[in-house]
């Protein structure tokens, strides 16, 4: 969108004080860089389905009821829930959606292959399952069935429920993933396209969902209500999961805000004091050898606040290759002053690399990385 940046800045100014603006930018960049495109597409697609359900619920309900009547399903006389109870039931579904997405995103923050796979699988399963809930439930609710009974029944038929939901959601999910990979499209545009696509899918899912709900209605009526003690335990688990999710995600945001001061520092290498030691040239030409590099890293703090950084790393790259990984145990820079941190690293190099020695001397960059939470790194370029 033409004015997307202006809209983003206006929202940023409304929600956060000026001291948070740089941290908010980092949080947005961190969020989109840490999550896989499948998880992001699932988040956008799931969010658009929730919006469609909230905005178009009366239309969806009337279409479902009309289809049920026209097909003459033997469902008996309808017994709709009171309006206040319908609102309560929808709130429970939204809470389930929020908790599940918080769990999926929390797993996706960790930069490991297995966590990425787990997050993507959970995202696909959750999207398909919630889609089934969304389109099977209206018919059941017209006959007095609450969400807790619907959830237990659909969990009993989990594989079929996910399979049916996946038929409708996977095309939109992977089309959304493709759109997210297109640099010329903004997130707002992708969200709008996915929303429109879901509206098209919704028109086909209403009839199918009504048919399935009519088929399982007798089973739903036979499900016993939860005992008071089990209901209390269920609400307790939901409350704990929601609280943990809020604490976890807010801890990430607060940590990024606290440590974003690292971006305000000015970094420089004392090139005149760089010390390079290497194996003999003959050993490097014949086989792999080692080059030891010692250099001073100068950090200037131009702000009025003291700066401290612990348990961080500096990554040296040459072009797109990671050359060295150096740990910084602790660094403290008083306001308005600079300190020098002596760094040392060993680089393994072979004779083949020396054939392009001129290229070896160019294209160098340095990145600072630190954990915003244990195991969740934030990386940004410092030079």
Q: What is the pLDDT of residue 14?
A: 45
Q: Is the model more confident about 313 or about 376?
A: 376
**Confidence bin at 280 (pLDDT 50/70/90):** low
For range 2-17, the mean pLDDT: 49
| Mean predicted confidence (pLDDT) in 164-170 | 88
Fold classified for 265-381: Immunoglobulin-like (2.60.40)
Q: What percent of the chain has pLDDT over 90?
A: 10
What average pLDDT score do residues 3-26 get?
A: 53
73: pLDDT confidence band, cut at 50, 70 and 90?
Answer: confident
Quote the mean pLDDT of the chain. 77
Quote the pLDDT of residue 151. Answer: 87
Please tell me the least confidently modeled range out of 116-125, 168-177, 253-262. 253-262
User: What are the structural domain ranges in the chain?
Assistant: 35-225, 265-381
Environment class of 379 (CB within 10 Å of its CB; exposed 0-12, middle 13-18, buried 19+): middle
What pLDDT sits at residue 1? 40
* pLDDT, position 207: 85
- How does DSSP classify residue 93? H
CA distance 363 to 117: 33
Which stretch of 1-5, 263-267, 272-276 has the lowest confidence by average pLDDT? Answer: 1-5
> What is the pTM (predicted TM-score) of this model?
0.75
Angle (CA) 38 40 42, round 5°: 65
For residue 247, pLDDT over 90 is answered with yes
Q: Which of 2-11, 95-104, 292-301 has the lowest mean pLDDT?
A: 2-11
Structure tokens at 295: 């250099």
In the predicted structure, residue 234 carries a pLDDT above the cut 90: no
Residue 38 — very low, low, confident or very high, per pLDDT cuts 50/70/90?
Answer: confident
User: Residue 107's pLDDT is what?
Assistant: 92
Q: What pLDDT is attached to residue 348? A: 60
Per-residue pLDDT tens over the stretch 115-146: 999 999 999 999 899 888 888 888 888 888 88
Give the Cα separation of 290 and 277 in Å (integer).
8
- The pLDDT value recorded for residue 7 is 46
Lowest mean pLDDT among 127-141, 219-233, 298-312: 298-312
Annotate 207-244 with b (16+ C-beta within 10 A) or e (fewer): bebbebbbebbeebeeeeeeeeeeeeeeeeeeeebeee
Q: Is the pLDDT of residue 357 over 70?
A: no
Q: Residue 78 pLDDT more than 60? A: yes
pLDDT of residue 121: 92
Question: Model confidence at 104, in pLDDT bands (50, 70, 90)?
Answer: very high
**DSSP string computed for 160-202:** HHHHHHHHHHHHHHHHHHHHHT-TTS-HHHHHHHHHHHHHHHH
Task: Supply the pLDDT for residue 355.
Answer: 45
Residue 178 clears pLDDT 50, i.e. is over it = yes
In this prediction, residue 15 carries a pLDDT of 47
Determine the pLDDT at residue 186. Answer: 72
């Amino acid at each position: 969108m033409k004015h997307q940046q202006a809209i983003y800045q206006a929202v940023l100014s409304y929600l956060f004080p000026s001291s948070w603006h740089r941290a908010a930018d980092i949080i947005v960049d961190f969020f989109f860089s840490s999550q896989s495109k499948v998880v992001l597409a699932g988040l956008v697609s799931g969010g658009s389905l929730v919006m469609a359900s909230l905005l178009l619920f009366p239309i969806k309900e009337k279409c479902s009821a009309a289809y049920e009547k026209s097909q003459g399903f033997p469902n008996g006389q309808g017994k709709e829930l009171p309006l206040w109870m319908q609102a309560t039931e929808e709130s429970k579904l939204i809470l389930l959606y929020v908790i599940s997405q918080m769990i999926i995103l929390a797993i996706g923050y960790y930069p490991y292959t297995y966590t990425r796979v787990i997050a993507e699988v959970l995202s696909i399963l959750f999207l398909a399952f919630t889609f089934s809930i969304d389109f099977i439930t209206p018919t059941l609710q017209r006959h007095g069935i609450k969400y807790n009974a619907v959830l237990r029944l659909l969990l009993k038929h989990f594989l079929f429920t996910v399979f049916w939901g996946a038929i409708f959601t996977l095309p939109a999910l992977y089309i959304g993933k493709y759109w997210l990979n297109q640099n010329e499209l903004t997130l707002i545009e992708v969200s709008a396209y996915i929303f429109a696509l879901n509206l098209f899918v919704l028109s086909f899912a209403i009839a199918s969902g009504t048919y399935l709900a009519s088929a399982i209605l007798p089973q739903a009526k036979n499900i016993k209500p939860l005992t008071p003690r089990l209901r209390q335990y269920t609400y307790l688990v939901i409350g704990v999961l929601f609280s943990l999710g809020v604490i976890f995600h807010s801890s990430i945001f607060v940590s990024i805000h606290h440590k974003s001061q690292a971006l305000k520092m000015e970094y420089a290498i004392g090139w005149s004091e760089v010390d390079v030691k290497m194996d003999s040239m003959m050993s490097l030409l014949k086989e792999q050898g080692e080059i030891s590099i010692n250099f001073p890293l100068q950090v200037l703090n131009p702000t009025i606040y003291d700066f401290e950084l612990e348990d961080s790393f500096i990554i040296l790259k040459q072009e797109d290759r990671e050359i060295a990984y150096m740990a910084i145990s602790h660094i403290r820079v008083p306001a308005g002053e600079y300190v020098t941190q002596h760094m040392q690293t060993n680089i393994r190099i072979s004779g083949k690399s020396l054939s392009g020695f001129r290229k070896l001397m160019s294209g160098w960059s340095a990145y600072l990385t630190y954990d915003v939470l244990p195991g969740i790194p934030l990386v940004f370029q410092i030079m």
